């Protein structure tokens, strides 16, 4: 649960950062940014996967660039639902989505979900190899 709250706050900070950098994006308050982050999270969880599948041929032909267009459209949709958020057009939404994506990506590199829950992190194990250890009798198991 702490992991989700942390990600939510990171997205809210990213929205505030994009509004501070870009003149075409305006956020009224911190509450508006938190609400916009919640709406963006809900849209990204339910609507974005469907849109990614439907636009997969475009994404493949454009070598993945169209995924950024979808991010901008999601941000414009958040602008439609949240009253304190104003985005002047698609270009500003595209740049804002890039900033939000970069801040989220950088923050996720430092946030580990297992450590956020208070559990120690386990080292990643490769699934394509077999770990063997030598027994007391010298045989590998």
92-104, pLDDT tens digit by residue? Answer: 999 999 999 999 9
Taking 70 as the threshold, does the pLDDT of residue 41 lie above it?
yes
- In sequence order, which residues have a C-beta less than 8 Å from that of residue 3 and are 6 or more positions away? 111, 113, 116, 117
131, two tokens: 């770990």
Instruction: Look at 5 and 15; give whichever has higher pLDDT.
Output: 15
Taking 90 as the threshold, does the pLDDT of residue 60 lie above it?
yes
Q: What angle do CA 80, 45, 48 make, to 5 degrees?
A: 65
Residue position matching structure tokens 């709250």: 5
Instruction: Look at 116 and 140; give whichever has higher pLDDT.
Output: 140
Residue position matching structure tokens 């923050």: 107
- In sequence order, which residues have a C-beta less than 8 Å from that of residue 105 and are 6 or more positions away? none
Length of the chain counted residue by residue: 141
pTM assigned to the model? 0.76
pLDDT category at 137 given cuts 50, 70, 90 is: confident
Residue position matching structure tokens 């939404």: 93
90-110 vs 65-81: helix axis angle to the nearest 10?
100
């Amino acid at each position: 649960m702490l992991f989700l709250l942390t990600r939510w706050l990171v997205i809210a900070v990213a929205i505030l950062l994009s509004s501070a950098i870009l003149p075409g994006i305006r956020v009224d308050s911190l509450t508006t940014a938190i609400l916009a982050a919640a709406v963006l999270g809900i849209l990204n969880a339910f609507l974005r996967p469907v849109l990614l599948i439907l636009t997969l041929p475009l994404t493949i032909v454009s070598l993945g660039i169209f995924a950024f267009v979808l991010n901008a459209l999601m941000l414009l949709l958040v602008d439609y639902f949240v009253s304190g958020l104003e985005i002047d057009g698609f270009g500003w939404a595209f740049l804002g989505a890039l900033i939000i994506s970069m801040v989220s990506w950088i923050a996720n590199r430092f946030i580990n979900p297992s450590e956020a829950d208070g559990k120690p992190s386990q080292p990643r194990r490769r699934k394509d190899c077999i770990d063997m250890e030598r027994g007391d009798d010298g045989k590998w198991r």
